Amino acid sequence: MKSGEAIAIVGQGIAGTLLGLELEKQGAAFHVFGPGPAASASAVAAGIINPITGRRLAPAWRIAELLPLARATYRGLETRLGVPLWREMRVRRWFRDERERRIFAERRESGELLPWLGAVEADGFWTEGAGHVDVPALLAAARQRWRERGCLTERAIDPRELRQCHGLVILGTGAGLAASAVFAGVPWRLVGGELLTVAVPGLDENVILNRGTWVLPLGKGLAEVGATYEPGAAEARPTAAGRTRLEADARTLLGRPFEVRDHRAGLRLTLPDQRPAVGRSALDQGWGVLAGLGSKGVSLAPWLARQWWNHLSEGVPFDPAVDVSRFAAAPNISRIT
Ligand SMILES: Cc1cc2nc3c(=O)[nH]c(=O)nc-3n(C[C@H](O)[C@H](O)[C@H](O)COP(=O)(O)OP(=O)(O)OC[C@H]3O[C@@H](n4cnc5c(N)ncnc54)[C@H](O)[C@@H]3O)c2cc1C
Protein backbone atom coordinates (compact mmCIF):
# COMPACT_ATOMS: atom_id res chain seq x y z
CA MET A 1 0.00 0.00 0.00
CA LYS A 2 1.34 3.44 -0.93
CA SER A 3 1.49 5.60 2.20
CA GLY A 4 -0.89 8.54 2.27
CA GLU A 5 -3.18 7.28 -0.50
CA ALA A 6 -6.74 7.12 0.80
CA ILE A 7 -8.53 3.81 0.38
CA ALA A 8 -12.12 4.36 -0.80
CA ILE A 9 -14.73 2.31 1.05
CA VAL A 10 -18.17 2.22 -0.61
CA GLY A 11 -21.09 1.49 1.75
CA GLN A 12 -21.52 2.30 5.42
CA GLY A 13 -23.34 -0.79 6.66
CA ILE A 14 -21.71 -3.17 9.12
CA ALA A 15 -19.10 -4.19 6.50
CA GLY A 16 -17.93 -0.71 5.48
CA THR A 17 -18.11 0.57 9.05
CA LEU A 18 -15.99 -2.20 10.58
CA LEU A 19 -13.50 -1.88 7.74
CA GLY A 20 -13.24 1.89 8.18
CA LEU A 21 -12.84 1.56 11.94
CA GLU A 22 -10.08 -1.05 11.51
CA LEU A 23 -8.19 1.16 9.02
CA GLU A 24 -8.63 4.15 11.29
CA LYS A 25 -7.26 2.22 14.28
CA GLN A 26 -4.21 1.22 12.26
CA GLY A 27 -3.57 4.78 11.07
CA ALA A 28 -4.32 4.10 7.39
CA ALA A 29 -5.86 6.82 5.20
CA PHE A 30 -9.43 6.04 4.09
CA HIS A 31 -12.64 7.71 2.96
CA VAL A 32 -16.13 6.20 3.29
CA PHE A 33 -18.90 6.83 0.75
CA GLY A 34 -22.42 5.89 1.82
CA PRO A 35 -25.86 7.44 2.11
CA GLY A 36 -26.49 6.16 5.63
CA PRO A 37 -28.54 3.34 7.04
CA ALA A 38 -31.78 3.59 5.03
CA ALA A 39 -32.42 0.56 2.81
CA SER A 40 -29.51 -1.46 4.17
CA ALA A 41 -29.52 -4.88 5.82
CA SER A 42 -27.59 -3.33 8.69
CA ALA A 43 -30.51 -1.01 9.45
CA VAL A 44 -32.61 -4.11 10.15
CA ALA A 45 -30.00 -6.42 11.72
CA ALA A 46 -30.86 -7.47 15.26
CA GLY A 47 -27.17 -7.66 16.17
CA ILE A 48 -27.22 -11.15 17.69
CA ILE A 49 -24.20 -13.46 17.79
CA ASN A 50 -25.40 -16.95 18.66
CA PRO A 51 -22.66 -19.62 18.84
CA ILE A 52 -25.05 -22.58 18.31
CA THR A 53 -27.34 -21.94 15.38
CA GLY A 54 -29.83 -23.21 12.85
CA ARG A 55 -31.81 -26.39 12.38
CA ARG A 56 -28.55 -28.34 12.65
CA LEU A 57 -27.91 -27.01 16.17
CA ALA A 58 -24.24 -26.85 15.22
CA PRO A 59 -21.52 -24.44 16.31
CA ALA A 60 -21.58 -21.50 13.86
CA TRP A 61 -18.77 -21.56 11.27
CA ARG A 62 -15.35 -20.66 12.81
CA ILE A 63 -17.18 -19.34 15.87
CA ALA A 64 -14.34 -20.24 18.26
CA GLU A 65 -12.19 -17.73 16.37
CA LEU A 66 -14.83 -15.18 15.41
CA LEU A 67 -16.59 -14.70 18.73
CA PRO A 68 -13.59 -13.69 20.89
CA LEU A 69 -12.40 -11.27 18.19
CA ALA A 70 -15.91 -9.80 17.84
CA ARG A 71 -16.26 -9.36 21.60
CA ALA A 72 -12.84 -7.66 21.87
CA THR A 73 -13.53 -5.47 18.84
CA TYR A 74 -16.93 -4.20 19.97
CA ARG A 75 -15.77 -3.68 23.53
CA GLY A 76 -12.76 -1.74 22.23
CA LEU A 77 -15.09 0.34 20.07
CA GLU A 78 -17.23 1.17 23.10
CA THR A 79 -14.19 2.97 24.51
CA ARG A 80 -13.11 4.53 21.22
CA LEU A 81 -16.58 5.75 20.22
CA GLY A 82 -17.91 6.44 23.72
CA VAL A 83 -21.17 4.47 23.30
CA PRO A 84 -22.36 1.20 24.87
CA LEU A 85 -22.38 -1.47 22.14
CA TRP A 86 -21.90 -4.96 23.56
CA ARG A 87 -24.19 -7.07 25.78
CA GLU A 88 -23.30 -10.54 27.03
CA MET A 89 -26.31 -12.80 26.40
CA ARG A 90 -27.55 -16.33 27.08
CA VAL A 91 -29.89 -18.17 24.74
CA ARG A 92 -32.76 -20.40 25.90
CA ARG A 93 -33.35 -22.79 22.98
CA TRP A 94 -36.41 -25.04 22.72
CA PHE A 95 -36.49 -28.10 20.43
CA ARG A 96 -38.99 -27.72 17.63
CA ASP A 97 -39.44 -31.44 17.07
CA GLU A 98 -38.04 -34.91 17.75
CA ARG A 99 -35.51 -34.51 14.96
CA GLU A 100 -33.90 -31.53 16.70
CA ARG A 101 -33.90 -33.40 20.01
CA ARG A 102 -32.05 -36.28 18.36
CA ILE A 103 -29.52 -34.01 16.58
CA PHE A 104 -28.83 -32.20 19.84
CA ALA A 105 -28.22 -35.48 21.69
CA GLU A 106 -25.68 -36.53 19.04
CA ARG A 107 -23.85 -33.21 19.08
CA ARG A 108 -23.79 -33.10 22.85
CA GLU A 109 -22.36 -36.61 22.93
CA SER A 110 -19.60 -35.62 20.46
CA GLY A 111 -18.49 -32.76 22.75
CA GLU A 112 -18.50 -30.14 19.95
CA LEU A 113 -21.01 -27.90 21.80
CA LEU A 114 -19.05 -27.93 25.04
CA PRO A 115 -17.56 -24.41 25.03
CA TRP A 116 -21.02 -22.85 24.80
CA LEU A 117 -23.39 -25.44 26.21
CA GLY A 118 -25.08 -24.46 29.46
CA ALA A 119 -27.84 -26.29 31.34
CA VAL A 120 -29.75 -28.98 29.46
CA GLU A 121 -33.53 -29.08 30.00
CA ALA A 122 -36.12 -31.71 29.07
CA ASP A 123 -37.41 -29.54 26.21
CA GLY A 124 -34.22 -27.74 25.13
CA PHE A 125 -30.96 -26.26 26.38
CA TRP A 126 -29.11 -23.07 27.26
CA THR A 127 -26.30 -21.50 25.23
CA GLU A 128 -23.77 -19.41 27.15
CA GLY A 129 -21.42 -16.74 25.78
CA ALA A 130 -23.75 -15.30 23.12
CA GLY A 131 -23.67 -11.56 22.43
CA HIS A 132 -25.70 -8.61 21.24
CA VAL A 133 -24.31 -5.57 19.41
CA ASP A 134 -26.27 -2.32 19.23
CA VAL A 135 -25.84 -1.94 15.46
CA PRO A 136 -27.77 1.37 15.04
CA ALA A 137 -25.63 2.97 17.79
CA LEU A 138 -22.42 1.67 16.19
CA LEU A 139 -23.28 2.97 12.72
CA ALA A 140 -24.46 6.33 14.05
CA ALA A 141 -21.36 6.83 16.21
CA ALA A 142 -19.00 5.99 13.32
CA ARG A 143 -20.95 8.27 10.99
CA GLN A 144 -20.73 11.17 13.44
CA ARG A 145 -17.00 10.63 14.02
CA TRP A 146 -16.13 10.47 10.31
CA ARG A 147 -18.36 13.44 9.52
CA GLU A 148 -16.38 15.51 12.03
CA ARG A 149 -13.06 14.23 10.67
CA GLY A 150 -13.97 14.84 7.03
CA CYS A 151 -13.57 11.22 5.92
CA LEU A 152 -17.22 10.52 5.03
CA THR A 153 -19.25 11.49 1.96
CA GLU A 154 -22.92 10.86 2.75
CA ARG A 155 -24.33 9.86 -0.60
CA ALA A 156 -24.46 6.96 -3.01
CA ILE A 157 -21.76 7.09 -5.64
CA ASP A 158 -20.86 5.19 -8.80
CA PRO A 159 -17.80 3.21 -7.64
CA ARG A 160 -16.30 3.38 -11.15
CA GLU A 161 -15.89 7.15 -10.71
CA LEU A 162 -13.93 6.52 -7.54
CA ARG A 163 -11.67 3.97 -9.18
CA GLN A 164 -10.36 6.71 -11.49
CA CYS A 165 -8.84 8.59 -8.56
CA HIS A 166 -8.30 5.92 -5.87
CA GLY A 167 -5.74 3.16 -6.10
CA LEU A 168 -7.99 0.86 -4.10
CA VAL A 169 -11.81 0.92 -3.92
CA ILE A 170 -13.35 -1.62 -1.52
CA LEU A 171 -17.03 -2.42 -1.99
CA GLY A 172 -19.07 -2.96 1.15
CA THR A 173 -22.30 -2.32 -0.70
CA GLY A 174 -24.21 -5.37 0.54
CA ALA A 175 -27.20 -6.35 -1.62
CA GLY A 176 -26.19 -3.65 -4.11
CA LEU A 177 -23.46 -6.00 -5.34
CA ALA A 178 -26.01 -8.36 -6.84
CA ALA A 179 -26.69 -5.79 -9.56
CA SER A 180 -23.17 -4.37 -9.78
CA ALA A 181 -20.92 -4.64 -12.83
CA VAL A 182 -17.92 -4.98 -10.53
CA PHE A 183 -17.50 -8.53 -9.18
CA ALA A 184 -20.35 -9.47 -11.52
CA GLY A 185 -19.03 -13.01 -11.94
CA VAL A 186 -19.47 -13.79 -8.27
CA PRO A 187 -22.68 -15.81 -7.74
CA TRP A 188 -24.29 -13.40 -5.27
CA ARG A 189 -27.68 -14.41 -3.91
CA LEU A 190 -30.28 -12.31 -2.12
CA VAL A 191 -32.21 -13.54 0.90
CA GLY A 192 -35.03 -11.42 2.30
CA GLY A 193 -35.63 -11.14 6.02
CA GLU A 194 -38.27 -9.52 8.22
CA LEU A 195 -38.54 -8.76 11.91
CA LEU A 196 -41.01 -7.21 14.33
CA THR A 197 -40.50 -4.84 17.24
CA VAL A 198 -43.01 -5.69 19.98
CA ALA A 199 -43.96 -4.20 23.32
CA VAL A 200 -43.94 -6.93 25.97
CA PRO A 201 -43.24 -6.48 29.68
CA GLY A 202 -41.21 -8.62 32.04
CA LEU A 203 -38.47 -10.17 29.88
CA ASP A 204 -35.02 -10.94 31.27
CA GLU A 205 -32.81 -8.49 29.32
CA ASN A 206 -29.89 -10.89 29.08
CA VAL A 207 -31.77 -13.88 27.68
CA ILE A 208 -32.62 -14.46 24.01
CA LEU A 209 -35.56 -16.85 23.55
CA ASN A 210 -35.18 -19.15 20.55
CA ARG A 211 -37.27 -21.82 18.89
CA GLY A 212 -35.98 -21.26 15.35
CA THR A 213 -37.54 -17.81 15.55
CA TRP A 214 -35.96 -15.70 18.31
CA VAL A 215 -37.05 -12.97 20.73
CA LEU A 216 -34.37 -10.42 21.60
CA PRO A 217 -35.16 -8.20 24.63
CA LEU A 218 -34.17 -4.57 24.02
CA GLY A 219 -35.05 -3.17 27.45
CA LYS A 220 -37.77 -0.64 28.34
CA GLY A 221 -40.48 -3.25 27.66
CA LEU A 222 -39.51 -3.73 24.00
CA ALA A 223 -38.21 -6.76 22.12
CA GLU A 224 -37.41 -7.78 18.55
CA VAL A 225 -38.83 -10.94 17.01
CA GLY A 226 -37.18 -12.47 13.95
CA ALA A 227 -36.22 -13.35 11.49
CA THR A 228 -37.75 -14.76 8.33
CA TYR A 229 -35.43 -16.18 5.65
CA GLU A 230 -36.67 -15.86 2.06
CA PRO A 231 -34.13 -16.92 -0.59
CA GLY A 232 -34.61 -15.18 -3.92
CA ALA A 233 -36.40 -12.11 -2.57
CA ALA A 234 -35.95 -9.20 -4.97
CA GLU A 235 -36.73 -6.34 -2.61
CA ALA A 236 -36.76 -5.51 1.09
CA ARG A 237 -40.47 -5.34 1.81
CA PRO A 238 -42.45 -6.23 4.94
CA THR A 239 -45.13 -8.76 3.99
CA ALA A 240 -48.42 -9.84 5.57
CA ALA A 241 -47.23 -13.48 5.49
CA GLY A 242 -43.99 -12.60 7.27
CA ARG A 243 -45.83 -10.72 9.98
CA THR A 244 -48.36 -13.51 10.50
CA ARG A 245 -45.60 -16.09 10.90
CA LEU A 246 -43.53 -13.98 13.29
CA GLU A 247 -46.58 -13.12 15.39
CA ALA A 248 -47.52 -16.81 15.66
CA ASP A 249 -43.98 -17.74 16.74
CA ALA A 250 -43.89 -14.85 19.22
CA ARG A 251 -47.13 -16.11 20.81
CA THR A 252 -45.52 -19.53 21.36
CA LEU A 253 -42.25 -18.11 22.68
CA LEU A 254 -43.67 -15.37 24.90
CA GLY A 255 -46.82 -17.04 26.18
CA ARG A 256 -48.28 -13.62 27.07
CA PRO A 257 -49.90 -10.68 25.26
CA PHE A 258 -47.71 -8.34 23.20
CA GLU A 259 -48.29 -5.45 20.85
CA VAL A 260 -46.56 -5.06 17.48
CA ARG A 261 -44.91 -1.63 17.23
CA ASP A 262 -42.85 -1.97 14.06
CA HIS A 263 -42.28 -4.34 11.15
CA ARG A 264 -39.15 -4.05 8.98
CA ALA A 265 -37.45 -5.95 6.18
CA GLY A 266 -33.96 -6.16 4.71
CA LEU A 267 -31.99 -8.00 2.05
CA ARG A 268 -29.07 -10.21 3.06
CA LEU A 269 -26.33 -10.91 0.51
CA THR A 270 -25.12 -14.52 0.53
CA LEU A 271 -23.07 -16.95 -1.54
CA PRO A 272 -23.79 -20.59 -2.48
CA ASP A 273 -21.18 -21.93 -0.03
CA GLN A 274 -22.62 -19.76 2.79
CA ARG A 275 -19.26 -18.03 3.30
CA PRO A 276 -18.59 -14.29 2.91
CA ALA A 277 -16.32 -12.75 0.28
CA VAL A 278 -13.23 -10.65 0.91
CA GLY A 279 -10.26 -9.76 -1.25
CA ARG A 280 -9.33 -8.24 -4.58
CA SER A 281 -10.61 -8.68 -8.10
CA ALA A 282 -8.42 -10.97 -10.17
CA LEU A 283 -8.91 -8.62 -13.15
CA ASP A 284 -8.05 -5.34 -11.47
CA GLN A 285 -6.29 -5.37 -8.12
CA GLY A 286 -7.63 -1.87 -7.51
CA TRP A 287 -11.07 -3.33 -6.76
CA GLY A 288 -11.66 -4.94 -3.37
CA VAL A 289 -14.69 -6.36 -1.61
CA LEU A 290 -16.00 -7.14 1.87
CA ALA A 291 -19.49 -8.58 1.45
CA GLY A 292 -21.74 -11.64 1.45
CA LEU A 293 -22.11 -11.57 5.23
CA GLY A 294 -25.47 -13.36 5.07
CA SER A 295 -27.12 -13.66 8.50
CA LYS A 296 -23.87 -13.21 10.42
CA GLY A 297 -22.61 -9.72 9.66
CA VAL A 298 -21.93 -8.84 13.28
CA SER A 299 -19.57 -11.76 13.95
CA LEU A 300 -17.93 -11.87 10.50
CA ALA A 301 -17.19 -8.18 9.87
CA PRO A 302 -14.46 -7.68 12.52
CA TRP A 303 -12.61 -10.80 11.29
CA LEU A 304 -12.88 -9.80 7.61
CA ALA A 305 -11.82 -6.22 8.33
CA ARG A 306 -8.77 -7.57 10.17
CA GLN A 307 -7.95 -9.73 7.14
CA TRP A 308 -7.97 -6.62 4.97
CA TRP A 309 -5.56 -4.88 7.31
CA ASN A 310 -3.21 -7.89 7.53
CA HIS A 311 -3.25 -8.06 3.75
CA LEU A 312 -2.58 -4.33 3.25
CA SER A 313 0.08 -3.98 5.90
CA GLU A 314 1.98 -7.25 5.53
CA GLY A 315 0.72 -8.87 2.36
CA VAL A 316 -0.91 -11.74 4.28
CA PRO A 317 -3.08 -13.76 1.85
CA PHE A 318 -6.82 -13.74 2.51
CA ASP A 319 -8.18 -16.92 4.08
CA PRO A 320 -8.91 -19.18 1.06
CA ALA A 321 -12.32 -20.15 2.47
CA VAL A 322 -13.51 -16.56 2.11
CA ASP A 323 -11.24 -15.12 -0.61
CA VAL A 324 -13.43 -13.81 -3.43
CA SER A 325 -10.93 -15.33 -5.86
CA ARG A 326 -12.53 -18.72 -5.18
CA PHE A 327 -15.09 -17.59 -7.76
CA ALA A 328 -12.47 -16.41 -10.27
CA ALA A 329 -13.54 -19.03 -12.79
CA ALA A 330 -17.07 -17.61 -12.90
CA PRO A 331 -17.97 -16.99 -16.58
CA ASN A 332 -18.87 -13.29 -16.67
CA ILE A 333 -16.28 -11.90 -14.28
CA SER A 334 -14.96 -9.79 -17.16
CA ARG A 335 -17.95 -7.41 -16.89
CA ILE A 336 -15.85 -5.19 -14.64
CA THR A 337 -15.93 -1.84 -16.45
C1 LIG B 1 -34.23 -9.32 9.38
C2 LIG B 1 -32.73 -9.46 9.51
C3 LIG B 1 -32.17 -9.71 10.75
C4 LIG B 1 -30.79 -9.86 10.88
N5 LIG B 1 -30.27 -10.11 12.12
C6 LIG B 1 -28.94 -10.27 12.24
C7 LIG B 1 -28.37 -10.56 13.51
O8 LIG B 1 -29.06 -10.66 14.52
N9 LIG B 1 -27.02 -10.74 13.59
C10 LIG B 1 -26.22 -10.63 12.49
O11 LIG B 1 -24.99 -10.81 12.61
N12 LIG B 1 -26.73 -10.34 11.28
C13 LIG B 1 -28.06 -10.17 11.13
N14 LIG B 1 -28.58 -9.92 9.90
C15 LIG B 1 -27.67 -9.86 8.76
C16 LIG B 1 -27.01 -8.48 8.65
O17 LIG B 1 -28.03 -7.54 8.49
C18 LIG B 1 -26.05 -8.45 7.47
O19 LIG B 1 -25.13 -9.51 7.52
C20 LIG B 1 -25.28 -7.14 7.43
O21 LIG B 1 -26.08 -6.05 7.76
C22 LIG B 1 -24.66 -6.91 6.08
O23 LIG B 1 -23.97 -5.69 6.15
P24 LIG B 1 -23.32 -5.03 4.88
O25 LIG B 1 -22.60 -3.82 5.33
O26 LIG B 1 -22.57 -6.06 4.10
O27 LIG B 1 -24.56 -4.64 3.93
P28 LIG B 1 -25.66 -3.49 4.15
O29 LIG B 1 -26.03 -3.35 5.56
O30 LIG B 1 -26.76 -3.75 3.18
O31 LIG B 1 -24.91 -2.16 3.77
C32 LIG B 1 -24.56 -1.82 2.45
C33 LIG B 1 -24.52 -0.32 2.38
O34 LIG B 1 -23.95 0.06 1.11
C35 LIG B 1 -24.66 1.19 0.67
N36 LIG B 1 -24.47 1.31 -0.78
C37 LIG B 1 -24.92 0.48 -1.76
N38 LIG B 1 -24.55 0.97 -2.96
C39 LIG B 1 -23.86 2.12 -2.73
C40 LIG B 1 -23.22 3.08 -3.57
N41 LIG B 1 -23.21 2.95 -4.90
N42 LIG B 1 -22.60 4.14 -2.99
C43 LIG B 1 -22.57 4.26 -1.64
N44 LIG B 1 -23.16 3.38 -0.80
C45 LIG B 1 -23.80 2.33 -1.35
C46 LIG B 1 -26.11 0.91 1.07
O47 LIG B 1 -26.85 2.11 1.11
C48 LIG B 1 -25.90 0.33 2.46
O49 LIG B 1 -25.90 1.32 3.45
C50 LIG B 1 -29.95 -9.75 9.73
C51 LIG B 1 -30.51 -9.46 8.50
C52 LIG B 1 -31.89 -9.32 8.37
C53 LIG B 1 -32.46 -9.00 7.02
Residue 52 is assigned to a structural domain of this protein: no
**Contact criterion met (CB below 8 Å) for 47 and 135:** yes
Asked if residue 29 belongs to a domain, the reply is yes
Asked if residue 71 is part of any domain, the answer here is: no
Does residue 103 belong to any structural domain of this protein? no
What pTM value is reported for the model?
A: 0.96
> Is 1's pLDDT higher than 70?
no
Residue from 12, 21, 40 to probe ligand 1 pocket by mutation (most atoms less than 8 Å from CB): 40
Could you tell me where the DSSP H helices lie in the chain? Answer: 14-26, 63-81, 98-110, 135-149, 159-163, 240-254, 297-314
**Quick one: pLDDT band at residue 106, thresholds 50, 70, 90?**
very high
- Pair 263, 202 in one domain: yes
- Please tell me the total count of domains within the chain: 2
The preferred substitution site among 67, 229, 293, 296 for testing ligand 1, maximizing ligand atoms within 8 Å of CB, is 293
d(CA 103, CA 230): 24
Measured distance CA(183)–CA(337) in Å, rounded: 10
Q: What pLDDT sits at residue 55?
A: 85
d(C-alpha 9, C-alpha 33), whole Å: 6
Question: Residue 141: is its pLDDT beyond 80?
Answer: yes
Tell whether 173 and 285 lie within a shared domain: yes
Look at ligand 1, atom 4, and give the residue with the nearest C-alpha: 45
Beta bridge mates, 279: 289
pLDDT band at 36 (very low <50, low <70, confident <90, very high): confident
Confidence of residue 267 (pLDDT cuts 50, 70, 90): very high
CB-based contacts of 13: which residues, under 8 Å, 6+ apart?
Answer: 34, 37, 40, 41, 42, 43, 139, 172, 174, 297
Separation of alpha carbons 51 and 60, rounded Å: 5
Distance CA 271, CA 186 (A): 8
Q: Is residue 85 part of a domain?
A: no
Domain boundary, last residue among 225, 244, 269:
269
Domain that holds residue 281: 7-47+134-188+272-327
106 Cα–ligand 1 center, Å = 35
CA of 247 to the centre of ligand 1 (A): 24
- Residue 312 sits in the same domain as residue 284: yes
The residue among 241, 269, 297 that closes a domain is 269
Beta bridge mates, 132: 48, 87
In this prediction, residues 292-313 reach a mean pLDDT of: 98
Mean pLDDT, rounded, for 107-118: 95
Q: Which of 251, 269, 287 is the last residue of a domain?
A: 269
| Atom number in ligand 1 closest to CA 157 | 42
Which of helix, strand or coil describes residue 227?
Answer: coil
Sheet strands (E) in the chain: 7-10, 30-33, 48-49, 52-53, 58-59, 86-94, 117-121, 124-133, 152-153, 169-171, 189-199, 207-211, 213-219, 222-226, 230-231, 259-270, 277-280, 287-291
Q: Are 182 and 282 part of one and the same domain?
A: yes
Considering the domain boundaries, does residue 106 fall inside one? no
Q: What is the CATH number of the domain that holds 232?
A: 3.30.9.10
Q: Grade residue 329 by pLDDT with cuts at 50, 70 and 90.
A: low
Q: Residues 161, 162, 164, 169: what is their CA dihedral angle, to the nearest 10 degrees?
A: -140
| 79 belongs to a structural domain | no
Q: Which atom of ligand 1 is nearest to the CA of 14?
A: 25
Q: Are residues 285 and 228 in the same domain?
A: no
For ligand 1, residues with CB inside 6 Å are 10-16, 33-35, 39-42, 44-48, 156-157, 159, 172-176, 193-195, 226-227, 266, 268, 291, 293-299
**Residue 109 placed within a domain:** no
- Strands 48-49 and 277-280 turn out to be unpaired
Report the nearest-CA residue for atom 38 of ligand 1: 173
Average pLDDT over residues 148-174: 95
- Are 161 and 216 in the same domain? no
